[in-house]
Structure formats: C-alpha cells, structure tokens
Chains A and B, each alone.
Chain A
Amino acid sequence: MQDKKTQDKVIIRIELPTNAYFMSGIRDFTLKMIENTTDFSKQWAYRFQSVVDELCNNAIEHGSNPNDFILITFISDPEKSIEITVEDHGKNSEKIANKILAKYKSNSKKSQLELGIRGRGLAYIVEKWTDELEITDRQNGGVKVRVKKYLNDPEFQTDNKHDPTHLKLTI
C-alpha cells in the first residue's frame, strides 16, 4: 500500500458480492487504508472498521437480493476527512430511505433492554462515530448511505467533551 502523507484526495471503489463471507477482508482493508493513508488515530481506524461493517451488513441483509453486489466507496482527504458510501440495489423498487431513517431515529431513543437483537448498528455505532450521516434513495432502486468524519474541524474535535464514548484508548 502507498505510504501515507500523500496530500491528494484518494478515491477507492469496491464492488462486493452480497455474502457476509467477504466482510472480514473489507474490515481488514478499512483498518489498513485508514491507518496508512490518513492522519486518523488507530482508535478511529478501528471505529471506521465497525462503521463500514455495519453499513455493509445492512446493505446486504436489507437492501440486496442473493447473488447481487453492493458498492463501497472510500474518499480519503488525507488531512481533512474520510468519507464512505455504501450503495445497494434494493430488493424491489420501493423507496425506503425515509423508513430506514425513521427506524434508526426511533432505535436511538430506546434503552438497551427495549432493543431486540438488531437495531444498534446505525443508531449507535454509525451515528455516534461519524459527523455526517445521510440516507437517500437511489434513482434506479436501492439505498445510498453516506457517512463522513472530519479530522481537524474544530466543531468535531475528538476530546473528552465531544467523543461519544469518552474513551481514549492506548492501542
């Protein structure tokens, strides 16, 4: 992998078959890509590994038919931000972005004991570990989820006041 510190924006697109079998490879890629090409800490590399995993699992389980694929796009602006989009083709032509949005907002208000097995991915991990989260319907079917995390924007500095977990790890 290219050494870090390139100042240029890097765009990487991956087509992933809708099979959970491949997700460990995508998690490994995410971790290394963020570690090696951005100034985000290792803790944030691990966090983005989770964000990508949750988004892809949602796209595979709720937005895809068997033998389909999803599209993952990483846009790394080395000293500014990391942006990730995950797009699926949908199971049919129904527009469901607003339903997903309403569901995750509802889940984020529930206690741990009120939630079932599902419902923590978008509402907790993705929402809390990103600065922007946007869910939109794709024109020809399916959903596009875009998340972005800023590196040095003062509004989003990760200190004890702003870090949702108030946790600084030594990894």
Chain B
Amino acid sequence: MAEIKIQTQSENNIHIISLQGQLDESTVNEFSTQVYAVIEQCTENSRVILDLEQLTYLNSKSIGFIADFFNRLQSKNSKLVLAKAQANVVDILNVVGIDQIVPMTQTLNEAKTI
C-alpha cells in the first residue's frame, strides 16, 4: 500500500506542507483533508508551499486537488507554490498543464519569495 507522510510548518503567514511518499487513490484524501485544514486557517496574503522533494508519485486526482487549492487560496488573495518536485513528478504536472497556473520552484527560498 502507498504511504504518505505530511508535515506542516507555519510561520508568518507562510505554511510549508512537506510530503513524503506517494499520492494515489489510497492516500489522496488524507492529503486533501490536511491541506484544506491549512487553507481554512489562512488569512489574506498567506502563502502555502507544497514541498514535493520527498514525493515520488502523484496521480491526476491529486493534481485536481492542487488546482482546487489554488482557486481557494486565490479567493483569499493568497498564493500556492509547488517546490522541489522530482523530475518524474514535474513531468506529470507539466503534461496535465498545472504548471501553467501554479508556480513551481526548485528551492524553498524561491517559493517563499516568488
């Protein structure tokens, strides 16, 4: 069975959510529940960064949730950034086209300032 570990750090309106493992049909709901909980707490001008360095797989439903996170944060004048994705994960994000709407960075520092 796939596993996903999710850790959240929050400081000064910047919320970094680190993912370790795989996002598939068996783990995606746990992921979405935790990210929606963070978004719920966001005030205006917040920033949610998904740190994907330790994520080895994600499916299309996970990308659907990422698009929804983006919409919800935008309605709060806040931002979603995807950081440090591995090459095969970048490939999936690109083929779906999510990189056209959600900024992607190679480092967490970039993600905090972009």
A residues neighboring B (CB under 8 Å): 20-24, 27, 43, 46-47, 49-50, 53-54, 57, 60-61, 112-113, 115-121, 124-125, 128-129, 164-165, 167, 169-171
Contacts and interface: CB of A to CB of B under 8 A. Distances in A.
Given A24-B2, A53-B24, A54-B59, A112 B101 contact: yes
B59 to A, nearest CB: 6
Contacts of B96: 112, 120, 124-125
B24 A43 contact: no
A24 B24 contact: yes
Contact of A47 (B24, B59, B91, B101): B91
Given A27-B57, A53-B24, A124-B60, A117 B68 contact: yes
Q: Tell me what chain B mostly uses at the interface: helix, strand, loop, or mixed.
A: helix
Given A164-B95, A171-B87, A50 B59 contact: yes
Nearest 6 interchain pairs by C-beta: A117-B64, A20-B25, A121-B60, A120-B60, A46-B88, A24-B2
B1 A24 contact: yes
Contacts of B95: 124-125, 128-129, 164-165
A20 B25 CA distance: 6
Given A164-B95, A167-B94, A117 B65 contact: yes
B63 interface: yes
Contacts of B97: 112, 124
B26 A21 contact: yes
B39 to A, nearest CB: 15
Contacts of B59: 50, 53-54, 57, 121
Nearest to A126: B60
Given A113-B67, A115-B67, A120-B63, A21 B1 contact: yes
A139 B99 CA distance: 41
Nearest to A50: B92
Contacts of B64: 115-120
20 contacts: A23-B2, A23-B25, A24-B1, A24-B26, A43-B91, A46-B88, A53-B24, A53-B57, A53-B59, A54-B60, A57-B24, A112-B101, A113-B101, A115-B67, A117-B61, A118-B61, A120-B64, A125-B92, A165-B95, A167-B94
